[in-house]
């Protein structure tokens, strides 16, 4: 045990060895919070205070859960089996699978991902003749998820106006439809679990008694429903209360947009009468200048629990800041800097390029590709989200639960088999009339379309019959063939990648079966029906069935059901080119929890970072600032920031001002390395930018256009230039009209808005540094 606790600093040690009471650990970035969390679990078990089955550890991402499990197995001689370690969604899924009857779900219920949820809502709107202009599907989806995240069913949502009343009505219809189809969305997983525990006392008491220690990672990201679920599980206010050990950092709360409520931290402190509050402020990750920047920036947020990171590492290198002329040039600069880092010996995988939104990766990817540098993009199009993979999954879903209409519609005519709009409409009418699924409605459709539908049903059932005894990977292989998907893509010109992805699915299934402990040859369908005979079922209280704590996944789920859950819940990290040493590209959001020797934060422009939509939301800019804080604190040794004068976004060029966050960084930690070039588009003055970059492609045209426009206005002002106005403050020239003494400039003054000023009259200053 000495081993376990050595090398912990006093605060970490105190946190790890706290008595079994509720505790709140304020853990700054890079302060070793995962270490504290896992060491505490190990310590609790090694000191005999709790058995593995008494532990529940909740995270938000699958990555974090996996990491925790790995670290624990390294620390503990005992197996991590029996502990409940996972994401909120993963654990709730497991819980609902175990108690599917008690929460009125079919044993093979399936999970809708956001895509499926949206398409389902669209269908619902259509079926009910709702004007989708007035009630956009996305809004309704947001409305529903929001309600669920707060733990509210339709009958408990307050409607303030007719629009909301209608939305509530649709919410109810939506829930009914889900129930008919035997599908649940993400939020529903949590809400069902919560309601079941709420309603079912013996069950609740069983779990309360079981989980002596509940540990929550990234507590600042919990939403109201998740917090309430934790309260219920911990048995807050009860005699047998479990200890809730919450680790979080209010400065890293970046998920308010999906219902996260930082207020849960102070609510927790208050409601659980937390006496043990420990701050971890010693940072082991970043050099001084980087940490100073982070501290300085985040100090601009008002509502904070208060925390300042310190480090023993020296100042290190200053933060380098670069102003590029365009997004292309920004990418070029990143590549040059990355190359020189690698010359100094940096590993490619230790260099991260971060951006605010996924759309920004395109330009950088392009440049990296052209430069021949290997890179990996995280997030974005994930494996299980790819169209061809979703198609294959849909066939599997239909075989496990034919009433999943989303799956049905996805593949009923893909590959095409002569079932068109009219057949589908007839089918939907029949299904609506009898209140049944599309699959179940097939017998009610007569005529020609009826017979093609029938053969589709036969296809699905034939596949099920054929694969009845096969193991999951073999089953997947058969389905890929039988569905005609493989053949379809073989005939397609650009189908090679897709076929590869489909074949990859067999591997994914093989790996999954192994990792989850399903027997190598276990039939894909078999599993749940056998659990009663395994003797793992206990009966308590009013005949409530409780499968014992240690029941592994393979007892409550068939390999197929489990695999389908996995596909929805894990989405598959963009198939990481394992082993490949590559540059890491990702959004700031997905960088959370990671660290790199060198980090580039790109696109630091007003409107992009902070994002323009943030100014509309309450405390939106504060959240953007926290996001920036997360980005900065990812870096160990080197930090780069960049912004550009012009950027191609959504098909048009935009001219943004540099991000306000630059003004919130400590000047002494920064080094501005952009060349100060006034008019690099004019031929006479050679800029230090490589003019070669304008020699080809569409950018060349844009550059010429801009140069022409600028030239016609004589020396002085050009588009993209930063200016200052006595009244309006700082701005960026977005456009210049006319010439000579008539020249007028359209200037984006950010806070003061867009203005058109007469250049011969307006008093403008150049903004230099």
- List the catalytic residues: 33-34, 217-218, 252, 634
Tokens of 141: 């989806």
CB of 293 within 8 A of CB of 666? Answer: yes
Q: How far is the CB of 617 from DNA (least distance, A)?
A: 6
Q: Within 10 A of 159 (CB to CB), how many other CB atoms are there? A: 14
Report d(CA 697, CA 271) in Å as an integer. Answer: 61
Q: Shortest CA distance to 219 belongs to which of 253, 258, 173?
A: 253
CB of 562 within 8 A of CB of 517? Answer: no
Beta strands in 498-605 (DSSP E): 537-540, 544-547, 583-587, 596-601
Q: Within 10 A of 687 (CB to CB), how many other CB atoms are there? A: 15
Q: Shortest CA distance to 5 belongs to which of 74, 75, 66, 56?
A: 75
Q: How far is the CB of 691 from DNA (least distance, A)?
A: 22
Q: How far is the CB of 305 from DNA (least distance, A)?
A: 21
Tokens of 341: 């880092």
Q: How far is the CB of 413 from DNA (least distance, A)?
A: 6
Peptide bond into 610 cis (omega under 30): yes
Q: Strands 319-326 and 635-649, how do they pair?
A: parallel
Q: How far is the CB of 618 from DNA (least distance, A)?
A: 11
Q: Residue 97 or residue 287: which is nearer to DNA going by CB? A: 97
Q: How far is the CB of 655 from DNA (least distance, A)?
A: 16
Chain residues binding DNA by CB under 7 A are: 60-62, 87-90, 113-114, 122, 136, 138, 186, 254, 257-258, 356-359, 379, 413, 416-423, 448-449, 569, 571, 587, 589-590, 611, 613-614, 617, 648, 650-651
**Is 28 annotated as a binding-site member?**
yes
Tokens of 609: 């970072």
**Is 32 annotated as a binding-site member?**
yes
Tokens of 265: 């931290």
CB of 466 within 8 A of CB of 537? Answer: no
Centroid of chain to Cα 231: 25
Collect all residues with Cβ–Cβ distance below 8 Å to 399 and sequence separation of at least 6.
460, 463, 464, 467, 479, 560
Report d(CA 680, CA 324) in Å as an integer. Answer: 12
Q: Residue 88 or residue 525: which is nearer to DNA going by CB? A: 88
Q: Residue 340 or residue 613: which is nearer to DNA going by CB? A: 613
Tokens of 605: 């422009």
Q: Residue 697 or residue 715: which is nearer to DNA going by CB? A: 697
Q: Residue 296 or residue 382: which is nearer to DNA going by CB? A: 382
Centroid of chain to Cα 42: 29
**Is 683 annotated as a binding-site member?**
no
CB of 661 within 8 A of CB of 297? Answer: yes
**Is 30 annotated as a binding-site member?**
yes
Q: How far is the CB of 20 from DNA (least distance, A)?
A: 28
CB of 143 within 8 A of CB of 183? Answer: no
- Count Cβ atoms within 10 A of the Cβ of residue 78 and give its class: 0-12 exposed, 13-18 middle, 19 or more buried: middle
Q: Residue 286 or residue 614: which is nearer to DNA going by CB? A: 614
Q: Residue 143 or residue 717: which is nearer to DNA going by CB? A: 143
**Is 346 annotated as a binding-site member?**
no
Q: Which residues are annotated as part of the binding site for ATP? A: 27-34
């Amino acid at each position: 045990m000495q081993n376990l606790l050595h090398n912990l600093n006093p605060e970490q040690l105190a946190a790890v060895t706290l008595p079994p009471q509720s505790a709140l650990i304020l853990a700054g970035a890079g302060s070793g919070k995962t270490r504290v969390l896992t060491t505490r679990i190990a310590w609790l078990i090694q000191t005999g205070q709790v058995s593995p089955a008494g532990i529940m550890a909740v995270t938000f991402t699958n990555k974090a859960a996996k990491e925790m499990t790995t670290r624990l197995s390294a620390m503990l001689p005992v197996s991590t089996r029996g502990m409940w370690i996972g994401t909120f969604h993963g654990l709730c899924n497991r819980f609902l699978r175990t108690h599917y009857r008690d929460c009125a779900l079919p044993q093979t219920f399936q999970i809708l991902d956001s895509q499926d949820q949206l398409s389902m809502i669209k269908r619902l709107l259509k079926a009910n003749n709702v004007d989708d202009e007035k009630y956009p599907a996305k809004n309704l989806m947001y409305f529903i998820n929001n309600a669920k995240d707060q733990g509210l069913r339709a009958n408990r949502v307050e409607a303030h106006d007719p629009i909301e009343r209608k939305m509530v009505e649709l919410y109810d219809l939506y829930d009914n439809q889900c129930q008919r189809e035997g599908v649940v969305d993400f939020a529903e997983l949590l809400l069902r679990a919560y309601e079941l525990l709420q309603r079912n006392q013996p069950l609740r008491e069983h779990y309360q008694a079981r989980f002596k220690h509940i540990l929550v990672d990234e507590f600042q990201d919990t939403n109201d429903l998740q917090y309430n679920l934790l309260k219920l599980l911990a048995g807050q206010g009860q005699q047998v209360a479990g200890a809730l050990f919450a680790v979080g950092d209010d400065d890293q709360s970046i998920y308010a947009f999906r219902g996260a409520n930082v207020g849960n931290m102070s609510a927790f402190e208050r409601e659980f009468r937390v006496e043990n509050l420990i701050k971890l402020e010693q940072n082991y990750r970043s050099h001084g200048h980087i940490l100073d920047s982070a501290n300085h920036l985040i100090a601009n947020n008002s509502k904070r629990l208060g925390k300042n990171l310190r480090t023993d590492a020296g100042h290190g290198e200053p933060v380098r800041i670069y102003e590029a002329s365009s997004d292309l040039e920004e990418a070029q600069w990143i590549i040059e800097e990355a190359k020189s880092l690698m010359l100094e010996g940096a590993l490619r995988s230790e260099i991260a390029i971060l951006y605010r939104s996924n759309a920004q990766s395109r330009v950088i990817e392009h440049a990296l590709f052209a430069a021949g540098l290997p890179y990996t993009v995280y997030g974005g199009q994930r494996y299980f989200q790819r169209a061809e993979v979703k198609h294959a999954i849909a066939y599997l879903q239909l075989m496990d639960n034919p009433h999943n209409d989303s799956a049905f519609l996805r593949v009923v005519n893909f590959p095409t088999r002569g079932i068109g709009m009219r057949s589908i409409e007839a089918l939907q009418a029949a299904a609506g009339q009898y209140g049944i699924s599309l699959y179940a409605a097939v017998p009610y459709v007569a005529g020609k379309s009826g017979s093609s539908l029938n053969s589709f049903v036969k296809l699905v059932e034939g596949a099920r019959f054929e694969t009845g005894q096969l193991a999951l990977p073999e089953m997947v292989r058969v389905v890929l063939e039988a569905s005609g998907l493989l053949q379809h893509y073989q005939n397609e010109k650009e189908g090679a990648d897709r076929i590869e992805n489909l074949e990859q699915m067999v591997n994914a299934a093989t790996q999954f079966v192994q990792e989850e402990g399903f027997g190598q040859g276990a039939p894909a369908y078999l599993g749940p029906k056998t659990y009663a005979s395994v003797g793992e079922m206990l009966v308590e209280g009013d005949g409530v069935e409780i499968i014992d704590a240690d029941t592994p996944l393979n007892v409550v789920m068939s390999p197929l059901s489990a695999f389908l859950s996995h596909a929805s819940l894990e989405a598959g990290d963009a198939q990481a080119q394992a082993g490949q040493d590559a540059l890491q590209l990702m959004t700031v959001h997905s960088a959370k929890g990671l660290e790199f020797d060198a980090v580039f934060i790109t696109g630091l422009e007003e409107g992009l970072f902070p994002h323009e939509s943030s100014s509309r939301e309450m405390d939106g800019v504060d959240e953007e600032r926290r996001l920036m804080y997360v980005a900065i604190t990812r870096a160990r040794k080197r930090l780069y920031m960049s912004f550009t004068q012009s950027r191609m976004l959504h098909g048009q060029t935009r001219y943004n001002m540099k991000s306000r966050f630059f003004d919130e960084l400590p000047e002494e930690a920064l080094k501005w390395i952009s060349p100060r070039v006034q008019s690099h588009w004019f031929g006479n003055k050679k800029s230090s930018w490589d003019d070669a970059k304008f020699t080809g492609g569409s950018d060349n045209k844009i550059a010429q256009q801009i140069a022409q426009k600028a030239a016609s206005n004589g020396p002085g002002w050009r588009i993209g230039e930063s200016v200052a106005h006595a009244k309006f403050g700082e701005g960026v020239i977005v456009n210049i009209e006319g010439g000579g003494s008539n020249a007028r400039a359209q200037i984006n003054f950010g806070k003061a808005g867009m203005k058109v000023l007469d250049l011969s009259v307006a008093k403008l200053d150049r903004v230099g540094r």
